[in-house]
Structure 1
Amino acid sequence: MLMKDPGLPRQRLLLVEDDPGNRMTLTMLLEDEGFAVVTADSFARATQLLSNAPRYDAVLLDSRLGDGDGRSLIPLVRRKLPDAKLVLVTGWLDEAGRCDLADAVFQKGKHFDELLACLARLLPSDP
């Protein structure tokens, strides 16, 4: 796993997920792995958080949000966070190969270890 030395700065992730159960589960699992997780429960909230130009090492972006198309946030992520890695999270098989603007696509329903492996490939081990 990606457990970090408690003395090292934690990598910051923005998790954009409108489903409360998925958001809570992913947040807990990611925090257990040593990530600092900030969540957005909607397109509107993600837009607010991204507009403040914080520092995130990665953005986990649900492709379909209740109040908007998560994929349309990609240009804002790229503009505000040019160094952040972007993982499109989707439950739709037809989207998995269509998003060349993301650094990776993660299929909902896959095992959490696969998401961790994806993040390990994208993020440096020492932030």
Structure 2
Amino acid sequence: MTPGMCRRLLLVEDDPGNRMTLTMLLEDEGFTVVTADSCALAARLLNDAPRYDAVLLDSRLGDGDGRSLIPLVRARLPGAKLVLVTGWLNEEALCHAVDAVFQKGTHFDELLACLCRLLSPAPG
């Protein structure tokens, strides 16, 4: 699979440097990236008739707990893949609510491999 294959992602990240870097790297791989820097903006984007193949959700945002958006993502985007991006080590408890937990500081190629695996068509 070509990594991006015109896949549309919502990146929810409040750190400007991380947001910019991830956006550029993902766009270089062919993804279309829409960004939100807060829970409030992410909620608005999710409620505005979204079409995203995946959501990369920072667990800690400046205006709240990014994990609080998990039910909204699941309700508005039932077919989308949800990746929780975290700097915390204790997020394994949320593994049942998301498709993957990605540790901040891990190399981008591992995130890309995770996204490609999640977004690959099911065999059959």
Q: Secondary structure at the match of 1:98?
A: helix
What is the letter of the counterpart of residue 18 of structure 2? N
Tell me if 1:104 matches 2:93. no
1:19 paired residue number: 15
CA deviation profile, 1:69-116 (whole Å, cap 9, x unmatched):
000100000000000000000000112x11120000000000000001
In structure 2, stretches of 5+ residues that fail to align are none
Q: Measured at CA, do residues 103 and 24 of structure 1 come closer, stay the same or move farther in structure 2, by a change above 3 Å?
A: same
Q: Matched residues, percent identical?
A: 77
Segments of 4+ moved more than 6 angstroms: none
CA deviation profile, 1:34-76 (whole Å, cap 9, x unmatched):
0000000101000100011210000000001010100010000
CA distance in 2, matches of 1:116, 1:25: 13
Tell me if 1:114 matches 2:110. yes
How many residues of Structure 1 are paired with residues of Structure 2 in the alignment? 120
Q: Secondary structure at the match of 2:50?
A: coil
2:33 paired residue number: 37
CA distance in 2, matches of 1:90, 1:54: 24
Tell me if 1:76 matches 2:76. no
CA distance in 2, matches of 1:11, 1:45: 21
Q: Secondary structure at the match of 1:116?
A: helix
Aligned Cα root-mean-square deviation (Å): 1.4
TM-score by length of 2: 0.92
TM-score by length of 1: 0.90
What is the letter of the counterpart of residue 118 of structure 2? L
CA contact (8 A) 1:2 1:116 kept: no
Q: CA deviation at 1:121?
A: 1.0
Q: Measured at CA, do residues 53 and 112 of structure 1 come closer, stay the same or move farther in structure 2, by a change above 3 Å?
A: same
In structure 1, stretches of 5+ residues that fail to align are none
Q: CA deviation at 1:3?
A: 4.3
